[in-house]
Amino acid sequence: MPSKPAPIKKAAKKEPAKKEEKAPEPEPAPEPAPEPAPEAAPAEAEAAPAEAAPAEAPAEEPKPPTPPPADEPTSAPLDLFIEDKNDTSVTIIWSQPEVIGITGLDGYVIEVAKDGTDDWKAVNEDVQKSCRYIIKNQTTGDRLKIRVVAVNAGGRSPPVALPEAVLVKEVADRPKVRLPRFLRQRYVANVGDKINLTIPFTGKPKPVVSWTKNGGALDTKRVNIRSTDRDSILFIRAAEREDSGVYEICVKVDDFEDKAQLTLQIVELPGPPASVKVADVWGFNVALEWTAPNDNGNTEITGYTIQKADKKTGDWFTVLEHYHRLNATISDLIMGNTYKFRVFSENKCGISESCTIAKEEAKILKTGIDYKPPDYKEHDFTEAPKFTTSLSDRSTTVGYSTKLLCSVRGFPKPKVQWMKNQMIIGEDPKFRQICVQGICSLEIRKPGNFDGGVYSCKAINDHGEATVSCKLEVKQAVIPDADKK
């Protein structure tokens, strides 16, 4: 073993043992030689294994060294199975090995052999990097055994193979149309809308798709059809009412087929009612009748809007809206006025752009009423003056204007006089007198020390007089002492 050379080299260094072995040779005496023999025997016994050990070492050197674990191949790939197949190819997928190692994974080699033979041949010239591969150019009806090998610097991994041979033949799935839920009922769109409906389906090989409208061929100038392996698209750039109808899609694979229908309804605003007439007029009421519109906008009529207009003003007002019947009674009309009536139709899109006006006019007559105005006694509004708000005592400071206020009522309008200490103030410019809507005010402009006293307001008319008074105190302004400054 490589671990034993160390003790061999250590035994070779024992020089004294060799000297003792050579020492007896030059002596001529034969007898003394047997005496050291017992002592030399151990030395020879020790030297013997030292010489024998190098002889055994060459027998172990030809063995190759064990390669490090880093160069080992990966474990086998996992989960190999068929993803798809057709008449000439088979698509397989798998998962990467569980153990890869430090050197990594270079790729995969895909090998096939016909069933009943072991003649495995690689189908990919270059190492496959991904875990999916399409084995192409096969003969229809052949049975193939398939396996996958992982490759890295350590070599090929154990293969993973399909449990059974694969028959190269198209997998025929029956076609199935998967109509979306919102298309299972009537699909309604407005005129001018863009229609783009996608209908998915399944089936193998690629199904043959065909469309019909109301049992006949489609108008390719109006409707475009785009089909792929998985779905079919019905496209109309700008919908018109003639695009309405029952569309049917048929998906066919060999002798199997599946069909689905969708109903497309293109709607627009309705036309006005066909006719409107005033059926009867009595009291303050008018009975109207009308007929349904000739054009309902390709959808049912949901109601009507009735409007009236006074012939004098010509302004239209809505009386009823979202009304479902074909007749109505209009009440609470004004006596003596003449009215016109018109009706609009309504559907899912809205109210009709035009209306139908009744040819007849409805006049609310004044019949059987003789108006006699009642005898009213005129109310006597005359009243002697009376103060509703009295004057209040006030105090002010010299040089600061103040105002006295009170309110009075009476009919006819009373004459107001202001007095100071029982003396009429008159047109003194120091005082400003105002009386508006019974509110009387007296403004005393910058009063002095002598403007204080008793002020009175007297109101006089033909039916009497009234007076209110108050006391005004004028105080001297406080001037601070010069010493305190």
Report residue 200 as tokens.
């998915």
Give residue-wise pLDDT tens across range 359-408.
Answer: 999 998 876 667 788 888 888 889 999 999 999 999 999 999 999 999 99
Q: What does the alpha-carbon distance between residue 415 and residue 406 come to, in Å, rounded to a whole number?
A: 14
Instruction: Please tell me the distance from the alpha carbon of residue 195 to that of residue 233, in angstroms, as a whole number.
Output: 10
Burial of 286 (0-12, 13-18, 19+ CB in 10 A): buried
Q: What is the pLDDT of residue 54?
A: 43
Q: What is the bridge-based pairing of β-strands 394-397 and 464-475?
A: parallel
Cis peptide before 36 (omega within 30 of 0): no
H helices of 70-171, where?
none
Give DSSP secondary structure letters for 325-368: SSEEEE--PPTT-EEEEEEEEEETTEE-SS-EE-SS-EE----S
Quote the pLDDT of residue 2.
41
pLDDT of residue 371: 73
Confirm if 166 and 85 have CB atoms less than 8 A apart: yes
How large a percentage of the chain has pLDDT more than 90? Answer: 58
Q: What is the pTM (predicted TM-score) of this model?
A: 0.43
Distance (Å, whole) CA 457 – CA 439: 12
At residue 69, the pLDDT reads 54
**Residue 208 and residue 251 in contact, taking contact as beta carbons nearer than 8 Å:** yes
pLDDT for residue 415: 93
Give yes or no for a contact between 249 and 324, defined as CB atoms under 8 angstroms apart: no
Give the count of beta carbons closer than 10 Å to the beta carbon of residue 471. Answer: 13
- Tokens linked to 90: 């088979």
pLDDT at 171: 67
Nearest by Cα to 320 from 343, 340, 338, 298: 343
Per-residue pLDDT tens for 137-149?
888 888 899 999 9
Pick from 133, 140, 258: which is nearest to 208 by CA?
Answer: 258
Residues of the chain under the 50 pLDDT cut? 1-59, 67, 485
Query: What are 329's two structure tokens?
Result: 């009674």
Q: How far apart are alpha carbons 433 and 456 in whole angstroms?
A: 12
Residue 453 tokens read as 């006293």
Cβ neighbours of 341 (radius 10 Å): 25
> CA separation (Å) from 22 to 16, 26, 43, 44?
10, 8, 11, 11
